[in-house]
Structure 1
Amino acid sequence: MNKKQIIAEGALFSNTLIWGGTFVMIKSVLAFISPMMFVSICFFVASVLLLPFVYPLFKSISKKQLSEGFILGVFLYIGFAVQTIGLQYTTATKSAFITGTFVLFTPILQTIIEKRIPTLGNILGVLLVTVGIIFLSSKENSLFSIFSELGEGFNVGDFLTLICAIFYAVYIVYLDKISANHNHRFLTFAQISVTGLLSILSVIVFSLLKIEPIKIEMNNEVVIAILYTTLFATILTTSMQTKFQQAVTPTRASIIFSMEPIFAALTAYFFINEKLSNFGIAGAAFIFIGILTSELWPKK
């Protein structure tokens, strides 16, 4: 692994740490603000803050680059939107498990879209990470409780969450495909602003369709959560992923991103005293081993 790849993977690991750290903060403020409203505010504020830094680039942006940035933003938005809707109709356990399957879809889409076959090490890493996700999603008394829960009825919420996983995998692969031909600052702004605009429209539509009522009660806790999520979990992480993901394969990136639930669990353990189950610890171990396998397996 060269220096460029080390820096890139370090940036992507940092992203998963930041994303994982937002779960506790966001969970605590959802009593005061609806999920889609929170997402729309964060992405809208992020796009406004980024605008002065990318405005000078507008004259040099081609129609192709503009359309690709728009498409990337749509993919990112769809992942957020369908997951938000899906959560209304399924359990948190099922949602977490199904969302985690993006790590399985990524190598498939990488092969189809980019004609790049994942290495054996990456494939083994994906399988180990999947086992880890099963452990993380299972209840303490039964390893395969997640499958029993899924077997009770694959409903519309589960289907929408599956769409979320697929579109996040599409997002990862499409970002890899186009990022080399873009200024990363503009591409960061494009996807954030598109996601923000579509999220604002979704707040209105979701309210009219009674999918998610509009709720917002501003207080210090909500303001801090919005600022942290906007600055770090939106602007910083999107910028780093856009700039550095191109140095690794989409499959490798998805394996790294599978660390997010581990960081979320650790944050919850240290800050709100949520218990780490034995299955959760085992799941984290499998994911970590999967990452090492993907990293250390001979490339040839």
Structure 2
Amino acid sequence: MVHTARRPRPLSLSRPELALLAITVLWGGTYLVIHLAMRYSGPMFFVGIRFAVAGLAAALIFHRALRGMTRADLGAGAAIGVMIFFGYGLQTVGLQTISSSTSAFLTALFVPIVPFLQWAVFRKRPHIMAFAGAALAFAGLVLLAGPGALQVGLGTGEVVTLLSTVAIAAEIVLISLFAAKVNLGRVTVVQLLVCSVLAFVAMPATGEVVPTFSWVWLAAGVGLGLASCVIQLTMNWAQKSVDPTRATIIYAGEPVWAGVIGRLAGDRLPALALAGAALIVLSVLVSELKPLGRPPAGNSSTAVDLGSAENPGPETGREEGTRK
């Protein structure tokens, strides 16, 4: 009875989860910058510049680790980099021909896709509350996109955006698949540079040419490149111990933060979008709820241990991430 009263709160967040929440805020803030940069640059060139800066920044940080590059590091980094390229590249291309609300609705499909990809890759069915959280997040994203997003056709913009959601979901699953098996720094450098190279190579296919020099796309590319380095590095570290479905629920808050930042910049968030934002926040809480009625022997319940900084013993995944 005495020990029960001192048990940590089940809804607390671990440090890796808090880190993912922080980069989701940063992620949401990139929309305004990209919107401005697209007036001065094509999508592939901008993605190439952005991830070249991110890759070079990561290479400076992990230059010593690069000497120990293995084929496993190269393979994992290349696979994740391809998914990053298709995720960012196709979404940016789609935004040239469809509205932002339609794009947000279609991109939201990565939320329910991840649990099924996780099931296929790891052969482990996600907990029912993870599915419930994903469903709430998806419903919230639909409301956040607005009623206009429901008028979806099958034009080129819609098709490429749908493909980008599969790539985003695959990126999240691949990071979790490789996170504990490869070197964090080396894989981060490889995936960022692979994305950059693929974007530059794709320019002729999309009919792009090098744009006229502008301080706008240069400053935006450098700034977002550094942000991308932080985002990918944090994802690689945090997903050593955070379940991919759980991570997806946290990432689903991205458009919420984008809406908040947009509001500060002068956009008005309608009541329907506010309701969607509330649903997404609720989805995070729901996905955290797990049966605690029959904990394992001792006090090693995963839901409890993830929120306890004082009792890291059973969390081998988190300990590995901290040492990295």
TM-score (norm 1): 0.88
> Match for 1:101 among 105, 109, 126?
109
Residue aligning to 1:15: 23
Q: Percent identity?
A: 28
- The structure-2 alpha-carbon separation of the partners of 1:222 and 1:90, relative to structure 1 and needing over 3 Å to count, comes to closer
Residue aligning to 1:262: 256
| Offset, 1:247 | 1.1
- Does 2:141 match 1:146? no
Write out the 4+ residue segments of structure 1 that deviate beyond 6 Å after TM superposition: none
Residue aligning to 1:123: 131
| Offset, 1:15 | 0.9
Q: Which has the larger radius of gyration?
A: 2
- The structure-2 alpha-carbon separation of the partners of 1:84 and 1:29, relative to structure 1 and needing over 3 Å to count, comes to closer
> Match for 2:283 among 290, 293, 296?
290
Q: Partners of 1:137 and 1:204 in 2: how far apart?
A: 32
| Offset, 1:283 | 0.3
What SS class does the counterpart of residue 29 from structure 2 fall into? helix
Contact 1:5–1:248, Cα closer than 8 Å, also in 2: no
After TM superposition, the structure 1 stretch with the greater mean CA deviation from structure 2, 33-42 or 121-130, is 33-42
Q: Partners of 1:20 and 1:123 in 2: how far apart?
A: 23
| Offset, 1:63 | 1.6
- Does 2:229 match 1:240? no
Residue aligning to 1:142: none
The 5 Å alignment of 1:22-101 reads 22-101=30-109
Contact 2:114–2:173, Cα closer than 8 Å, also in 1: yes
C-alpha distance after superposition, 1:166-190 (max 9, x if no partner): 1111110111001101111111101
> Match for 1:227 among 222, 227, 238?
222
> Which has the larger share of helix?
1
Residue aligning to 2:297: none
Q: Partners of 2:32 and 2:74 in 1: how far apart?
A: 35
Residue aligning to 1:218: 214
| Offset, 1:108 | 0.3
C-alpha distance after superposition, 1:123-163 (max 9, x if no partner): 11111111101101123xxxxx433x12xx32232122111
Contact 2:86–2:167, Cα closer than 8 Å, also in 1: yes
Q: Partners of 1:216 and 1:261 in 2: how far apart?
A: 31
| Offset, 1:213 | 5.5
RMSD of Structure 2 on Structure 1 (CA): 2.0
The number of residue pairs the alignment matches comes to 284
TM-score (norm 2): 0.82
Contact 2:73–2:186, Cα closer than 8 Å, also in 1: no
Residue aligning to 1:178: 178
| Offset, 1:120 | 1.5
- The structure-2 alpha-carbon separation of the partners of 1:135 and 1:166, relative to structure 1 and needing over 3 Å to count, comes to same
Q: Partners of 1:255 and 1:58 in 2: how far apart?
A: 32
Contact 1:121–1:294, Cα closer than 8 Å, also in 2: yes
Runs (5+) with no aligned partner, structure 1: 140-144
| Offset, 1:214 | 4.4
Q: Partners of 1:27 and 1:158 in 2: how far apart?
A: 18
The 5 Å alignment of 1:187-206 reads 187-206=187-206
Residue aligning to 2:303: none
Runs (5+) with no aligned partner, structure 2: 1-8, 295-324
